[in-house]
Structure 1
Amino acid sequence: MKKEQRWTGIWVLSLIMMLVLSACGGKAGTDSNASPGSNDGGSENIKITMLNSKSEINNQLEQAAKDFQAENPNITLEIVPVGSGQSPFEKASALYASGNPTTMMMLDTGDVEKFKDRVLDLTSEPWMKDAVENSTTATTFDGKNYAFPFSIEGYGFIYNQKVLDQAVGGTFDPKSVETTAQLEDLFKKIAAAGKAPLIISPMDWSLGAHYLPLAYGGQSADRSQVDQFMNDLKAGKVDLASNAVFNGLMDTFDVMKTYNIDKASPLSGTYERGPEVLGKGEVGIWFMGNWAWPQISGFDTADGKYGFLPVPVSNNAADFGNSQISAAVSKRILLDKEKSTPAQQDAAKKFLDWIVYKEKGQDFLVKQASIIPAFSNIKLEPADPLGKSISEYIKAGKIEESMSTLPADHWSKLGASMQKYLANVVDRAGLASEIQAYWTNVK
């Protein structure tokens, strides 16, 4: 009996230990620091967050987060939008200062280097082999790439084909406008047809991050010469007041000011007004980028056609810039390494892979968010007319590479200078002086 009791006691003790270990194992499965694919089967619940600096696709991103979670039930993705009027750099910096950065950050290309010591090296990620040529060059430092190229974007004059067809009395040919004089002639025809020629959206980011940089990128088709121009500008060796490209661009802006639907109150406009008046056919042209399609389509009730015209910088059609659209990879996604856990980092990487390789992810990027992808394996064609138009310029080699590495405060400071010029508070000489003063103080 004693022997039987001893073995019975050992068996009971072993059973108790198994139950304890099983309970501990279950507890470990909920540890947010465990990595996906660990021996708990990747069933732990992980929450990740993403800073979104493309407000126009916030709804689409939130739906993508739901679709991603449907395929990955243990991962919850929360979208954190950048506040109105706040730059992505400012928002990300504030989150780091508070000790609560998002797992992923969608930033502008020029912001990546400032955060490179706080984010993951993504050089070995599988999507690197499918990224289009030069799409990660601007975010690679010392041989390491720190950002996911989220979107290729282009901008210029968006036109409503129906309005322009009425203005020219036939089918409008975008190739008929390759000079400032031809653009002004088109504006006159639109006005004669009873419509407003165009609308200028006066936001600092539109004027400072998009319009003014055409004066930099338009200096030459040779990017090395553009880089030299920028170095000379910083060194105080450039006289903008006598620069042909700058003056040509501002000549075009003067024409735009004359025919602006908001000429009487040029700083009163909002971003939301642009897609409304263009989509409803109240104006023929809007200076903006292909990211605006979701808003335009919401006002277009006639299933209209739209496309892009380059912004001319002279009256010589052969000059660089007159037939080129400004485009480049504009938004990048970075992954935090300071506060996010290994499990959160793996989950974020899984989301980036989902965008590039999963059917739902590709559909979100191209069809829902109307984004031109920076990955050669994605064969979906843009469904929207603006994405198609930019893609056609890219395929034709008619691209002026956008100035995507400008300082973070460029758009706010020089956007304000452009606003003063738009409102006739400063003249062209004053504007040139403010631009030069800004660059000579850039560190």
Structure 2
Amino acid sequence: MKKLRVLSTAVLSLAFLLSGCGPSSQQGQSSATNENGPVKITLLNTKGEIEAQMEAVAKVFNQQNPGINLQVIPAAAGQSPFEKVSAMYASGNAPTISMVDPSDVKKFKDKALDLSGEKWVKDAVDGSLDAAKDDGKILGFPFAVEGYGLIYNKQVLDKAVGGNFDPSSIKTRSDLEALLKKIQATGVASNLQSPMDWSLAAHFLPIAYSAQSKNPQDIDKFLEGLKGGKEDLSKNQVFSGLMDTFDLLKENNISKKDPLSGTYEQGPEMVGKGKVGLWFMGNWAWPQIKGFDTASGNYGFLPVPVSNNANDYGNSQIPAGVTKRLIVDKQQSSLEQQAAAKKFLEWLVYNNSGQDFLVNQANIIPAFKNITLQPQDPLAKSIVQYMNKKATMQAMTTLPPDHWSQLGASMQKYLSGKIDKAGLINEIQAYWKNVK
């Protein structure tokens, strides 16, 4: 069985400790023109929230590289990257570049081009390439560092606490419960719990794994125990504590009467317009929140507490890690297309326009030490603050590809009351016993 690999807090913090001053170099302004016209390449985008930005940056790249014609292909909402890329390979129409989840990289190891010789490898944040390595080859480009937790609208929370809300004041479940009551006392709904399977099982549930220990090896051991049927989640304090917090959020959910009716698009509007104080989501949501912002950009993250002991690991940390990687096809793409794809990856890291796209347009925290642009959106800034305080948890970015779809369905059943906690535990443990 393959060991799950995760990024450490110290590793992620390094990107920002090393960021400082100095201009970005301009490279990749042009590429050799093919005799038959520009080399056509495609990029499958599985981050739907930045589709407009991806389309825009493709135009800029094409203008600066007239020998290349990059086209962005959007993935269908709700479809896992693994399923989409697999289907495109099966149809003989594989993307030149595929944006996949970290756990998918090695699934395509026979189809992914070795990127070990690329210039950006030396500038990648230490540890950010570990999960993309196989037999000494680097198969994936670290596209984005992201984090998540309870997004808060500070304007709403300031009113609730009667002053300047301090996010560090929430250290336990009891603290969170008291805050929810204070928000409700102002006439505003306290929180929204979105029902998307990927949110529930790619982000919320994995906190039960990452909060087990600061040590990656201990987390690996815990997951191996689940696979071997040796872990009883009903007796695991971290899992039980996290689900108690989930129960708290479920009970106060603005969509409690119809908890599965919500959509992703509902969240940015509700938190942006101050209709709810809290929303469990990640920094990728800022472009949408920004469109509804009534709090003058005053937002941040609260950790999801797992106990009522303020000193317990997980109560003051948020998960953060490389959440998307780009792989280059070597099976169905020509050598010219492969070269053009590698040109685009290098352009993202070293070209001013590429860096601007990552940091300022797509609101992505880059995984490269040479990029000195600082994120300006409030959610990315909040994550950087947690990183600099060494208050981030290991993000479970290499879980099995079907984890969020299979256990997302289980979490949805629990959210809607179709199964109880014992039923949820049974489904989670049964899933892990069948993981190969």
TM exceeding 0.5: yes
Tell me whether 1:245 sits opposite 2:218 in the alignment: no
Q: Distance in 1 between matches of 2:186 and 2:87?
A: 50
RMSD: 1.2
User: 2:199 pairs with 199, 206, 225, which one?
Assistant: 206
Tell me the amino acid that sits aligned with residue 154 of structure 2. Answer: Q
Q: Which moved more, 1:91-100 or 1:72-81?
A: 72-81
Q: Does the 8 A contact of 2:153 with 2:295 survive in 1?
A: no
1-side partners of 2:266 and 2:428: how far apart? 28
Equivalent residue letter for 2:413: K
Deviations 1:159-198 (A, max 9, x none): 0000000000000000000100100000000000110000
Distance 1:363 1:37, change over 3 A: closer
| Equivalent AA in structure 1 for residue 89 of structure 2 | Y
| Residue number in structure 1 paired with 2:113 | 120
Aligned residues: 407
1:346 corresponds in structure 2 to: 339
Please name the residue that 1:97 is paired with: 90
Would the aligned equivalents of 2:359 and 2:373 in 1 still touch at CA under 8 Å?
Answer: yes
* Residue 317 of structure 2 corresponds to residue 324 of structure 1: yes
Q: Deviations over 1:239-259 (max 9, x none)?
A: 001110000000000100111
Any idea what the Cα deviations from partners look like across 1:393-439, whole Å, max 9, x if unmatched? 11111111111111111111100100011111111111011000000
2-side partners of 1:304 and 1:382: how far apart? 13
Contact 2:274 2:295 in 1 (8 A): no
Measure, in 1, the Cα distance between the counterparts of 2:190 and 2:334: 53
Aligned partner of 1:130 in structure 2 is 123
- Letter in structure 2 aligned against 1:436: Q
User: Judging changes above 3 Å, is the alpha-carbon distance between structure 1 residues 41 and 254 closer, same or farther for their aligned structure 2 residues?
Assistant: closer
* 1:285-323 per-position Cα deviation (integer Å, ceiling 9, x unaligned): 000000000000000144230000001000001111001
What does 1:13-92 align with in structure 2 at a 5 Å threshold?
Answer: 44-92=37-85
- What is aligned with 1:297? 290
Q: What amino acid is the match of 1:266?
A: P
Are the aligned partners of 1:355 and 1:365 in contact in 2 as well (CA < 8 Å)?
yes
Q: Can you list the C-alpha shifts for 1:245-283, whole angstroms capped at 9, x where unaligned?
A: 000000000100111100111110000000000000010
Deviation for aligned residue 1:70: 1.0
Deviations 1:343-365 (A, max 9, x none): 11111111111100000000000
Matched, 1:191 2:184: yes
Displacement of 1:374: 0.2
Equivalent residue for 1:14? none
Give me the TM-score of the superposition, normalised by structure 2: 0.92
User: Residue type of the partner of 2:402?
Assistant: D
Offset at 1:85? 1.8
Q: Does 1:182 align with 2:175?
A: yes
Instruction: Verify the 8 A CA contact 2:193 2:249 in the aligned structure 1.
Output: yes
Q: 1:117 to 1:41 in 2, by over 3 A?
A: closer
| Displacement after TM superposition at 1:44 (Å) | 4.2
Q: Are residues 1:413 and 2:406 paired?
A: yes
Matched, 1:394 2:391: no
- Aligned mates of 1:399, 1:432 — CA distance in 2: 26
Structure 2: distance between partners of 1:405 and 1:93? 18
CA shift, 1:37, in A, is 6.3
- In 1, distance between residues paired with 2:326 and 2:354? 15
Match of 2:415 in 1: 422
| Partner SS for 1:63 | helix
CA distance, structure 2, for counterparts of residue 42 and residue 429 of structure 1: 65
The equivalent residue for 1:269 is 262
What code does the residue aligned with 2:56 have? Q
8 Å CA contact 2:129–2:142 kept in 1: the answer is yes
3-state SS in 2 of match to 1:299? coil
Q: Confirm whether residue 167 of structure 1 aligns to residue 160 of structure 2.
A: yes
Equivalent pair of 2:307/2:315 in contact (CA under 8 Å): yes
Question: Paired residue for 1:152?
Answer: 145
Residue 280 (1) aligns with residue 273 (2)? yes
Contact 1:43 1:74 in 2 (8 A): no
- Long gaps (5+) in structure 1: 1-35
Secondary structure (helix, strand or coil) at the match of 2:42 reads: strand
Q: Deviations over 1:98-149 (max 9, x none)?
A: 0110000000000000001101000110000000010000111111110000
Does structure 1 conserve the Cα–Cα contact (< 8 Å) formed by 2:274 and 2:294? no
Give, in angstroms, the shift of residue 74 of structure 1: 1.9
The residue that corresponds to 1:23 in the other structure is: none
User: Which among 93, 96, 101 is matched to residue 108 of structure 1?
Assistant: 101
Structure with larger RCO (C-alpha < 8 A, sep 6+) = 2
Q: In 2, are the aligned partners of 1:257 and 1:263 still within 8 Å (CA)?
A: yes
Letter in 2 for 1:284: G
The CA distance in 1 between the partners of 2:421 and 2:63, in whole Å, is 55
CA distance in 2, matches of 1:342, 1:231: 40
TM-score (norm 1): 0.90
Matched to 2:161, the amino acid is V
Which residue of structure 2 lines up, in the alignment, with residue 367 of structure 1?
A: 360
Q: Is the 8 A contact 1:162 1:304 kept in 2?
A: no
2:375 maps to which of 370, 375, 382: 382
Hey, what's the Cα distance between the residues in 2 that align with 1:215 and 1:357? 37
- Give the Å deviation of 1:41: 8.4
Q: Mark the runs of 5 or more structure 2 residues left unpaired by the alignment.
A: 1-29
SS at match of 2:322: strand
What is the one-letter code of the residue matched to 2:135?
A: D
* Alignment correspondent of 1:19: none
